[in-house]
Amino acid sequence: MEKAMFTAKEAVTEYFQGTISYTKLLQDFKQGKIPGVKLSAKRILFRKEALDNWMKSMEKERVSKAHKESYAIDKDKSFDRSKPPYFKRVKVF
């Protein structure tokens, strides 16, 4: 049976599988970037469902941002309103 709630340390090791540090998780939680509930000064809980939803929204945001950045108007071409704007591919890392 899967866990429904994680402590901060469990979230780092079990949910994120070590891809994020404990310190980074706490920083992002304090900045409101990662959803969680602070129960006391030393106890924060993260719901698996909330983390899943957060991960999905981050994936969508990243794809959307990469798509927007991959097309830029080529300023070397003159702009003619009767024709579609010229686009050039920009490499995104």
- Per-position pLDDT tens, the chain of length 93: 788 999 999 999 999 999 999 999 999 999 999 999 999 988 999 999 999 999 998 888 877 766 666 555 444 455 555 555 555 566 666
Tell me which residue range forms the domain holding 56. Answer: 5-89
First-to-last alpha carbon distance for the chain, in angstroms, is 38
The span from the CA of 24 to the CA of 12, in Å, is 10
CB 11 within 8 A of CB 25: yes
Structural domains of the chain, count: 1
The span from the CA of 29 to the CA of 44, in Å, is 9
Q: Which tokens hold the place of 70?
A: 């991959």
